[in-house]
Amino acid sequence: MAYSNYEISPKSYKSFTGFIFMHIACFAAIWTGVTTEAVILGIALYVIRVFGITGGFHRLFAHRTYKTSRVFQFIIAFMGQMSMQRGVIWWAAKHREHHRDSDTPVDAHSPVQHGFWFSHCGWVFNEEAAKADYDRVPDLTAYPELVWLDKNKYGPGILTGLICWLIAGWPGLVVGFFWSTVAVYHATFCINSLAHVFGRARYLTGDESKNSFLLGIIALGEGWHNNHHYYMASARNGFMWWEIDITYYILKVLSWFGIVWDLKQPPERILKGDRQLPAHLLDRLGMLVAQRFPADEIIARVKTRMGEAQLPEAKLPELVKAELPSLDEINARASKFLARTDELKEVVARAHNHLAETVSARLNGQERIAEAA
């Protein structure tokens, strides 16, 4: 199902208004001024909250890439919710969906399918796209304290804002809280949107995830998104020594104190890119590549040539074949946004087949309709 409704759903107006308010409130700094104390508070809150999301929501709750105590599990969930991105269970459930259906039409986060705005944050305010299936995350709903926290989704954030005001006054609220909350929003959202568009793909995954150094820094290691899509069970997203992954460094330090343990690592064969992509993911990639060649244009060209030369129906398959892009052309396009591995040839062949089937089916379908009329 594609999310065709780009309007803000009535149920989401309250959270959408809050989201817009948070941005506008940043301008209040014109009156409150910017103090050193407030800036330090803002930077500290940025790091704490992005870590709450990346180390907590993402690597612990969505992917279970390490173990920790029930107390620290609650603390890190609370840290994530300080960023006002709804509840921990909702977040993790939606994220698991992102991996399951990555870059398909049902993936609310996909810029490839739904454009930049929707994948960045528009989906959160679309009732259908933002719906999370709590039945699919029994490992998280098993903890009553997490369920309670998830229900009080904005509680930790509001409390954080209040504490900022108490510590550093109005500049503390505006610069320390509002500025950093907006920065945390967009750093996180960029992983949904930009990390599937900009950067380089080292591995062939079933989607268009990329590795980006810049996003790696901004989002404390989450920018190594192609690595992550290739092997999501790892607590470390930066696979190479130079792939800076601050979230992992923090987790590593916490492990020295016994606060977290069993940090999962990517196996050697994964680092080498030795894992074969299953057939259904090769198919999915074939479709993503085929989308780069609009069937409408091919159909139009076939129809023009049929009409011009007054060719008989029997010539149709031959013409379709002639108007389809060649394997080399498809390969050239695919290499621009997917990893150039040996398996890419397989993807290109599937994209070619997919295009041929789509174009033929639509041409035959239209003819049948024309005959019936």
Site for Zn ion in 205-234 (CB under 5 A): 209
- Least spacing, CB of residue 35 vs Zn ion, in Å: 37
Question: Shortest Cβ distance from residue 314 to Zn ion (Å)?
Answer: 46
Give 83 or 209: the residue with its C-beta nearer to Zn ion: 209
The residue with its CB nearest to Zn ion is 209
Q: Which is nearer to Zn ion, 210 or 352 (CB)?
A: 210
Least distance CB 128 / Zn ion (angstroms):
20
Q: How far is the CB of 211 from Zn ion (least distance, A)?
A: 12
The whole-angstrom separation of Cα 301 and Cα 303 is 5
Nearer to Zn ion, 209 or 211 (CB): 209
CA distances from 342 to 115, 130, 144, 160 (A): 29, 37, 47, 50
Count residues binding Zn ion (CB under 5 A).
1
Q: Nearest distance from residue 24's CB to Zn ion, in Å?
A: 29
Nearest to Zn ion of 181, 209 (CB atom): 209
Nearer to Zn ion, 119 or 160 (CB): 119
209/331 with CB nearer Zn ion:
209
Smallest separation (angstroms) from Zn ion to the CB of 191: 7
Q: Is 242 exposed, middle or buried (0-12, 13-18, 19+ CB in 10 A)?
A: exposed
Binding flags for Zn ion, 180-209, as an x/- string (CB under 5 A)? -----------------------------x
Binding region for Zn ion (CB under 5 A): 209
